[in-house]
Structure 1
Amino acid sequence: MKVGFITSEYPHPQITHAAGIGTSIKNLAVALVNKGVGVTVFVYQQNENTIISDEGVEIHLIKKESFKYFTWYFYRKLIQLYVNKVVEDKKIDVLEAPDWTGITAFTTFKVPLVIRFHGSDAYFCKLEKRKQKFKNFVFEKKALIKAAAYIAPTTFAGKETQKIFSLNKKKIKTIHYGLQLKDFENETPLIYNRNTILYIGTIIRKKGVFELAEIFNKVIESNQEAQLILIGNDAPDIKTGASSTYKLVENLFSNEAKKKVNYLGKVPYSEVKNHIKNAHVCVFPSFAETLGMVAIESMALQKPVVNTNIGWAQELIDDGENGFLVHPSNIDLYAKHILTLMNDENLCAKIGKTARKKVETTFNIEILADQNIAYYKSILK
């Protein structure tokens, strides 16, 4: 079998951007290669046209292009022509693309197309209770209705997307994102920087960063030794139009809390694991995700996680057993769980161990790769 992935991001030094979508695609792509599947990745909106190879995956960079009129349409047609030529040359059996912005709208491919629900603009707008641009909805809808089948990383994301776009339920299969577990081993789970709280993710309203500031203010009132480390790109704020969300968040910290906050900005992916290992507690108070790869990575590294309790998160964590689930707006309870963990090293160790077991049973990419292969094959019958 040969599979092609169309994406705007993928973790590689020559590629301009990589985040959760790119990481999840790479995890799957490498696992598929290891199982004898040929994998080609098409990364659009890049600085050049070139082909590179990484861990057995052939990566085609498609240069960003502008046209005098209707760039949104003609660039999609450019992608279509490029991908179809490679599909023919390499005899690719099935293609996969994300739902975000409907990149496959107005395109026709020579093999079946699967769309994975990494999170459409419409999905995030619904969760954030904000209005979506009509054009974005049209593009995403047009892309989705042309697909042969769909994969959802959580049942929650599948149901919500199905309702938004009135899709055929029978075409949706839930297959979680996964991790290559050997790459996420923590040999010294009892060694970490005490009282360190770690947040990893874009600094953006939907991730609950405003609530996190208030939560940390509560934590610092009870534990003067606590410190908060934030890692991730700073984004503009949609609600206020401010160019920096972090500057808005910074204004919410109390004077005492502000002294104990360290915003590191974007950190190379290769360094993120060490930051997780060094953390006492990892926190993800998000309002909008489809799954949340970094929460799974933290659990795999035996870290106690205090996560949001919204929909998708309930498929990651069993509350009180392998982590905690709290609504981001419940500031007092969220802070209480963090403090409880920081005050009880035995509880941290226990939750860390059970978190690792949860990842081993539910998010093992070797098992999930087999599920993806079986689903691809079912589409080709």
Structure 2
Amino acid sequence: MHICFISSEYPLWKSGGVGSFLQTFSGALVKFGHKVSIVGIGDKPVEEQLDDKGVKIYRLPVSTVPIGKFLFNTNSISKKIEFINQESPVDIVESAELGLAFIKKNPSIKYVIRLHGGHHFFAESENRKVHWWQGFKEKLSFKKADGFVAVSQFVKSHTAKYLSYSNKPIEVIYSPINTELFSPRTSIKKQVNNITFVGTICEKKGVRQLIMAMKLIANKFPDIKLNIYGREWYYKDGSSYTEMLRKKYKDIVDEYVTFHGAIPFEELPEKYALANVCVFPSHMETQGLVAQEAMAMQKPVVFSTLGPGKESIKDYETGLLCNPHDIYDIAEKVIWFLDNEDKQLTIVRKAREFVLNTFNVNTSVDKNILFYQRLIEV
């Protein structure tokens, strides 16, 4: 089977949850004998073609058109997919929520949207109105899809509040975790005062609340430190979210927080291994990968009660859940882990077992291929 993904995100040049998923999932598909192409817009005036262990990646020239960039980019992607299809027939084209809006469909190909969290989905959690243009594109994209894959029960049900699946096939399939890469590193000694966060440094990831909670944690553990790994996020005016945090919470940041910036994907396991507790107080997720990565490494994880949190963690059995808007609750859960080192071992072992059973790469590939095949046979 030949699957073509539409995405401009991939760990070789840009960190992020969708890119991490694509690298893990695409690599597994190739190992199982399938062909994978990834088409997206690059950042150079010429096309780049890359090969990541059998995954063919096409980074198309960035648009120089001042108006209508989305249409220009979509047209470029459509042409490239058609070219790839002529060389090696494509069975499935898959994109995130907005990706199919203006794609030119080929009747011999089935088109799938994977629900990673679209414009409608995140509007509520970010307390903003749905933008008419983004909303229009998303609705148009959904109409073009032949089927949907949801990465959690929550994203399936929550998206359905705003957009229609039009009775088309939809299945919940959790995104896989590379449990070989993210496995316990017994050779690395954890740092007892190390609290670790991984993810985009933005409001919806709960970074601000976590920083505020550090002052409360430090009241009991004065040597505690928060290590933040992740890419920067910018406001519309171009200002940095991280710089806002540095200025607004200067006393806390100077004393307890280190921003490390984005790091290569393959270096993440070492950073998790150094942590005593990993904290991800996200305001909203579709599934989230960082919590499961840390759990796979047998690290104590504090995750969010919101969104799919309860699908990922059973409170006080495989980790802890916190209210991400409540800095006292965040601090309380982190302190519980720090106070209960003896209970950590049982929890982290159950956590890894849960990830191995629920986010297994082989199981994920099997479920996805079966879903693709059912679409093709319709």
TM over 0.5, yes or no?
yes
Q: Which residue of 2 aligns with 1:366?
A: 362
- 2:324 pairs, out of 322, 325, 328, with 328
Q: Which residue of 1 aligns with 2:9?
A: 9
- Give, in angstroms, the shift of residue 250 of structure 1: 2.8
**Matching of residues 286-325 of structure 1 within 5 Å:** 286-325=282-321
Q: Which residue of 2 aligns with 1:201?
A: 199
For residues 316 and 9 of structure 2, what CA distance do their matches in structure 1 show?
35
Q: Deviations over 1:161-217 (max 9, x none)?
A: 122112235522110011122222214188300021001111111111121122111
* More off after superposition, 248-257 vs 60-69: 248-257
1:42 aligns with 2:49: no
**Matching of residues 1-381 of structure 1 within 5 Å:** 1-12=1-12, 15=13, 17-47=14-44, 48-67=46-65, 69-99=67-97, 102-110=98-106, 111-168=109-166, 171-188=169-186, 191-237=189-235, 243-253=239-249, 255=251, 258-381=254-377
The answer (yes or no) to whether the contact 2:6–2:38 under 8 Å persists in 1 is yes
Residue aligned with 2:94, SS: strand
Q: Deviations over 1:20-65 (max 9, x none)?
A: 1011011111111111111111122342313221111111221112
Letter in 2 for 1:233: R
For residues 187 and 306 of structure 2, what CA distance do their matches in structure 1 show?
28
Identity within the alignment, %: 29
For residues 74 and 190 of structure 1, what CA distance do their matches in structure 2 show?
48
For residues 195 and 237 of structure 1, what CA distance do their matches in structure 2 show?
32
For residues 70 and 53 of structure 1, what CA distance do their matches in structure 2 show?
30
The answer (yes or no) to whether the contact 1:204–1:237 under 8 Å persists in 2 is no
- Give, in angstroms, the shift of residue 332 of structure 1: 1.5
For residues 223 and 71 of structure 1, what CA distance do their matches in structure 2 show?
51
Letter in 2 for 1:285: P
TM superposition score normalised by structure 2: 0.94
Letter in 1 for 2:102: F
Residue aligned with 2:162, SS: helix
- Give, in angstroms, the shift of residue 278 of structure 1: 0.2
- Give, in angstroms, the shift of residue 236 of structure 1: 2.1
- Give, in angstroms, the shift of residue 253 of structure 1: 3.8
* More off after superposition, 160-169 vs 360-369: 160-169
* More off after superposition, 76-85 vs 163-172: 163-172
- Shift in alpha-carbon separation, 1:217–1:369, aligned structure 2, 3 A: same
The answer (yes or no) to whether the contact 2:6–2:93 under 8 Å persists in 1 is yes
The answer (yes or no) to whether the contact 2:321–2:333 under 8 Å persists in 1 is no
For residues 96 and 225 of structure 1, what CA distance do their matches in structure 2 show?
47
- Give, in angstroms, the shift of residue 323 of structure 1: 0.6
Q: Unaligned 5+ residue runs, structure 2?
A: none
- Shift in alpha-carbon separation, 1:189–1:175, aligned structure 2, 3 A: farther
Letter in 1 for 2:374: S
For residues 301 and 156 of structure 2, what CA distance do their matches in structure 1 show?
24
For residues 44 and 244 of structure 1, what CA distance do their matches in structure 2 show?
24
For residues 308 and 314 of structure 1, what CA distance do their matches in structure 2 show?
8
Residue aligned with 1:311, SS: coil
Q: Unaligned 5+ residue runs, structure 1?
A: none
- Give, in angstroms, the shift of residue 319 of structure 1: 1.0
For residues 376 and 169 of structure 1, what CA distance do their matches in structure 2 show?
17
For residues 239 and 66 of structure 2, what CA distance do their matches in structure 1 show?
29
For residues 236 and 254 of structure 1, what CA distance do their matches in structure 2 show?
19
For residues 242 and 92 of structure 1, what CA distance do their matches in structure 2 show?
39
Moved over 4 A (4+): none
- Give, in angstroms, the shift of residue 252 of structure 1: 4.8
Q: Deviations over 1:131-190 (max 9, x none)?
A: 232111111111111100011100100111122112235522110011122222214188
- Shift in alpha-carbon separation, 1:2–1:242, aligned structure 2, 3 A: closer
For residues 180 and 203 of structure 1, what CA distance do their matches in structure 2 show?
23
TM superposition score normalised by structure 1: 0.93
The answer (yes or no) to whether the contact 2:195–2:278 under 8 Å persists in 1 is yes
Letter in 2 for 1:228: L
For residues 169 and 214 of structure 1, what CA distance do their matches in structure 2 show?
45
The answer (yes or no) to whether the contact 2:214–2:252 under 8 Å persists in 1 is no
For residues 365 and 341 of structure 2, what CA distance do their matches in structure 1 show?
35
For residues 272 and 279 of structure 1, what CA distance do their matches in structure 2 show?
11
For residues 94 and 254 of structure 1, what CA distance do their matches in structure 2 show?
50
- Give, in angstroms, the shift of residue 254 of structure 1: 7.1
Residue aligned with 1:183, SS: coil
For residues 68 and 202 of structure 1, what CA distance do their matches in structure 2 show?
28
Letter in 2 for 1:295: A
The answer (yes or no) to whether the contact 1:202–1:235 under 8 Å persists in 2 is yes
For residues 67 and 262 of structure 1, what CA distance do their matches in structure 2 show?
39
The answer (yes or no) to whether the contact 1:2–1:91 under 8 Å persists in 2 is yes
